[in-house]
Chain A
Amino acid sequence: MAAPLASPTLIDRLRDPSEKTLGVMLLAPAALLLLMIVVYPIGKLFYNSFFDMRLSGGQGSKFIGLQNYADMMKDTGFWDATLNTVIITAVTVPGALLVGLGLALLANLPFKRQWPVRLALLLPWALPLAFAGLIWAWFFHTEYGFINDVWARMGGEPRMWLLSPVSAFTAICLAIIWKASSFMALVLLAGLQMIPKSLYEAAEVDGASKWQQFTQITLPMLMPSIMVALIFRTITALQTFDIPYTMTKGGPGNATETLAMYIHKTTIDYLDVGYGSTLAVGMFVLSLLLTAVYLRHISKQDSA
């Protein structure tokens, strides 16, 4: 009698999918991209590290087991770059935290006009790292740099800052701290503004000094923001590339070459994909270790 209900066609189902189908459809683009840019590359990275693979020669790839890893252990270039990276991280992470905290405390004062201060924190964040490196290299320029000019006015002899290992390292760390501290300050400033004013008023009534208020209220309340900022800063510091690349290109010699620069040189300049992958695995393990140390530290604090 009555015509059978038409079963929903494919088009109908696409137009108004069930909750689950819709979920799959909406998440598919993100999932595909993550597969292509993160998951597959991680797998390929470990795979490559067991091969002798040079894209320059054209002789294809040869399975060599753990040979690359053995080479890496004996490679002084790798250890120098690792040490440089660890030093940069150990100097710039606390450095950026201290400077950032100072900037955040200053910026948190009740100003009539907020925008100049806020823009002063945003500008270094928005400045590309490569540009920050170029500008700081110009500051430290031996002949015409601002630093040597000030140095000379104070009675010093002009110095070739970027051409001696220790001062080149210091200059790079200063540039990184300058660049990173403004983002730190923005995160910490947001944390500072979340602390209820009533806490300080109560402390004032109890006769607590400004310093006591800082150590007893501000710092503990700020801890979550500090930890988040530190973790991300550390992971970023381990990848340091742009600023040393634009300031010194790793020189003098390889005194300021970071692990990221060594990996870049091996892979992109020398096209040694097998060994470059092995180096990247080394870096991968290093960053996992440091993240784990931090996470443990946090969970300890939480349970304490």
Chain B
Amino acid sequence: MNGGVFSPARLRFFAAAIVVINGFFPAIWILLTSFKSSIELFRKPITYWPAEPTLQNYVVAAIEQPLFQVFMKNSVIVALLSTVVSLVVASFAAYAIARLNLKHRQLILTAIIASSMFPLVTLLVPIFETMRALGWLNSYMALVFPYVVLNLPVCTLILVSFFQSIPRDLENAAMIDGCTRFGTLWRVVLPLSAPGVFTAGILAFVNAWDEFLLALSLNSSAAMRTLPVGITLYQGEFTFPWPIIAAALVVAIVPVAIVIAIFQERVVGGLTAGGLKG
């Protein structure tokens, strides 16, 4: 039985291969594409493996378009800012929900989660109008505030469950030692919830890094584009410059892919605990 063509080990290998190919194939294809010269890329029949690998596309992507100094910089600033603000706002709210004797705790949590059910596109019009009136179009603020709201449900859910798992005695002990409530949140609860804060932070960062519609609508000026907007609106002289796009995509995907690869267990845990966001 074992060792045949359909041995359990073989079947398991095929199963793993299907999942892995499905997940990696588009990224690998774009990686291979990015190493082909424009001459090779537009040769027929197309090649799969780069015949003469070159870094020329990366050089062009970095020089002809402000890939690093504008798009990458904007993406990093917006994603980091909105992650930090999301964590502060969500940990405040989560602490109130998890620990304080408030009457409508469940209702408050539901309201925060329900806010994520509203389709962002429908809110686009008034958010655009508001940001326009405030003079915030084409600024980091235009994106940071909406992204914090976008992240609020997932971050709050994750943090509430972490805060609830911390023994109250530890907090009481800190307060007997003269710590204020804010002090216990900062010195006791948050450090003990570090894994949860970290997980929520990664999810918030990826959400902000990926967002497209608001970034396209609110920050469309050339100097304020984030990576998804900048790369999508890349314009070549005549046609869409595919080899350069491929290189730019690799540059934009790699940082997040590394973070995800290192912290995959946490990310999966956070995603399924948060249970939100599709």
Whether, in the assembled complex, B68 has its beta carbon less than 8 Å from a beta carbon of chain A, the answer is: no
Stretch of B39-47, B51-59, B166-174, B191-199 on the interface side: B39-47
Given contacts A115-B264, A139-B29, contact A128 B209 (CB under 8 A): yes
The yes or no answer to B6 lying at the interface (CB within 8 A) is: no
Judge whether A45 and B212 touch: CB under 8 Å.
Answer: no
Across the interface, which residues of A come within 8 angstroms of B257, CB to CB?
A: 123, 126
Residues on the A chain within 8 Å of B119, using CB: 235, 238-239, 260, 283-284, 287
A2 at the interface (CB under 8 A from B): no
Q: Which of A37, A180, A238, A260 has the most CB of B within 10 A?
A: A37
Contact yes or no, B210 A45, CB < 8 A? no
A242 to B228, CA, bound (A): 10
Is B44 in contact with A131, judged by CB distance below 8 angstroms? no
Whether A241 pairs with B213 at a CB distance below 8 angstroms is yes
Q: Is the interface of A mostly helix, strand, loop or mixed?
A: helix
Q: Is the interface of B mostly helix, strand, loop or mixed?
A: helix
List chain A residues, Cβ under 8 A from B268: 118, 122, 186, 190
Contacts of B228 in A (CB 8 A): 128, 130-131, 242
With beta carbons under 8 angstroms apart, the residue of A131, A182, A263 that contacts B125 is A263
**In the assembly, what is the distance between CA of A111 and CA of B17, in Å?**
11
Task: Knowing that A42-B118, A45-B126, A242-B228 touch, tell me 18 more A-B residue pairs with CB under 8 angstroms.
Answer: A22-B100, A26-B92, A29-B93, A42-B122, A44-B130, A48-B125, A124-B23, A126-B256, A130-B228, A136-B26, A145-B46, A238-B119, A242-B212, A267-B125, A273-B129, A277-B125, A280-B123, A287-B122
Give chain A nearest CB distance to B49 CB in angstroms. 13
Per-residue interface assignment for chain A, residues 123 to 154, with 1 indicating a CB less than 8 Å from any chain B CB and 0 otherwise: 11111111110111011010111100100100
**Per-position contact with A for B211-223: 1 when CB-CB < 8 Å, else 0?**
1110011001000
B194 CB, nearest partner CB in chain A, Å? 19
Report if B4 contacts A (CB, 8 A): no
**13 A/B residue pairs, CB under 8 Å, sorted by A:** A17-B181, A34-B112, A36-B145, A144-B42, A144-B46, A180-B278, A183-B277, A190-B268, A190-B272, A229-B278, A246-B232, A259-B121, A268-B220
Known: A30-B112, A109-B15. A267 touches B124 (CB 8 A): yes
Q: Which of A231-248 contact B (CB under 8 A)?
A: 232-233, 235-239, 241-242, 245-246
Query: Which of the residues A111, A124, A183, A236 comes within 8 Å of B271, measured between beta carbons?
Result: A183
CB neighbours of A135 from chain B (8 A) = 26-27, 29-30, 249
User: Interface residue tally of chain B, by bracket?
Assistant: 35 or more
A121 at the interface (CB under 8 A from B): yes
Inter-chain contact A55/B132, CB cutoff 8 Å: yes
- Residues in A whose Cβ lies below 8 Å from that of B148: 33
Q: Does B176 contact A (CB under 8 A)?
A: no
- A97-117 at interface with B (beta carbon < 8 Å): 103, 106-107, 109-111, 115-117
Closest chain B residue to A277, Cβ basis: B125
Interface presence of A54 (CB below 8 A): no
Distance in angstroms from A269 CB to nearest chain B CB is 9
A144 adjacent to B242 (CB under 8 Å): yes
Residues of A within 8 A of B12 (CB): 109-111
Residue numbers in B under 8 Å from A123 (CB-CB) = 23-24, 27, 257, 260
Q: Is A41 an interface residue (CB 8 A)?
A: yes
Min CB distance, A132 to chain B, in Å?
7
Residues in B whose Cβ lies below 8 Å from that of A25: 92
Is B138 engaged at the interface, CB distance under 8 Å to the other chain?
Answer: no
Give residues 220-262 of B contacting A (CB, 8 Å).
Answer: 220, 227-229, 231-232, 242, 245-246, 249, 252-253, 256-257, 260-261
